[in-house]
Amino acid sequence: MTNEPPADAELWGRARNGDERAFGELFDRHSRTVYNYCFRRTADWSAAEDLTSVVFMETWRRRAHVRLSADSLLPWLYGVATNVLHNHRRSLRRHRAALDRVRALPAAVNDAAAAAARLDAEHEMRAVLASIRKLARKDQEVLALCVWEGLGYAEAAAALGVPVGTVRSRLARARERLKQDMEPVRVDGHRKGDRPTTLYTEEAS
């Protein structure tokens, strides 16, 4: 007989009652996903680390007012992250003094190869974002959640607080407007010849 890890809903119920250990488990479970999402939206590893901390601090601060609409906490975390990204400069100033109290993200390997890889990733992500930022902000959000993060329409709708039909129409519009601006860098972060893009071959479920 194996012990299954507790579901997000169970951990969140305990966290809402002030259980910091349960909230720590949720952080361990989802922080890397939130971190990657923030990096893809900013193309800045350091900013992504700070923003991830802000997301979890905001989630803890507002825990008494949040009830999960699904089994996973991720749609809520994506929603918080999206709001934080809207005004991250102001958010970071407000939370800077508290960031040191948040559990540190895993440290990056400090060697030349890792540093070069991080710089390459930032450079390529900035090139991708240059195309993405030509879209309306709301279309960018849907594209990031459905294409990069792999959320289904319902999950993205829950994260953004909009109807499912709105997610579908925004994603279709974003895809159409990017068709003429995909090369030399595609929206999935790969260059021509790497592999087929996920932007047009995969639909969110």
The predicted structure's pLDDT at residue 150: 85
Distance CA 34, CA 7 (A): 18
Say whether both 178 and 101 belong to one domain: no
Say whether both 102 and 146 belong to one domain: no
Q: Please give the tally of structural domains in the chain.
A: 2
CATH code, domain carrying 101: 1.10.1740.10
Q: What range does the domain containing 172 cover?
A: 136-205
Say whether both 96 and 147 belong to one domain: no
Say whether both 91 and 153 belong to one domain: no
The packing angle between helices 8-16 and 20-42, to 10°, is 110
The predicted structure's pLDDT at residue 201: 32
Distance CA 189, CA 179 (A): 15
pLDDT bucket at 185, cuts 50 / 70 / 90: very low
> Residues of the chain with pLDDT > 90: what percent?
28
Output the pTM of the full model. 0.63
Q: Does 143 fall in a domain?
A: yes
pLDDT of residue 93 exceeding 60: no
The predicted structure's pLDDT at residue 55: 92
> Residues of the chain with pLDDT > 70: what percent?
65
Helices (H), the chain: 8-16, 20-42, 45-61, 74-86, 88-99, 112-132, 137-143, 153-160, 164-178, 198-201
pLDDT of residue 181 exceeding 70: no
Distance CA 160, CA 182 (A): 25
Distance CA 196, CA 41 (A): 22
From residue 7, alpha-carbon distances to 75, 109, 137, 138, 182 in Å are: 15, 31, 33, 31, 39
How far from chain centre, in Å, is Cα 201? 22
Say whether both 173 and 98 belong to one domain: no
**pLDDT, tens digit (0-9, with 9 covering 90-100), for 103-121:** 445 544 556 566 566 666 6
Say whether both 162 and 87 belong to one domain: no
The predicted structure's pLDDT at residue 151: 86
Closest C-alpha to 76, from 139, 10, 145: 145
Contact 147, 198 (CB under 8 A): yes
**pLDDT, tens digit (0-9, with 9 covering 90-100), for 23-78:** 999 999 999 999 999 988 888 888 889 899 989 999 999 888 888 877 889 999 99
Average pLDDT (85-102) is: 58
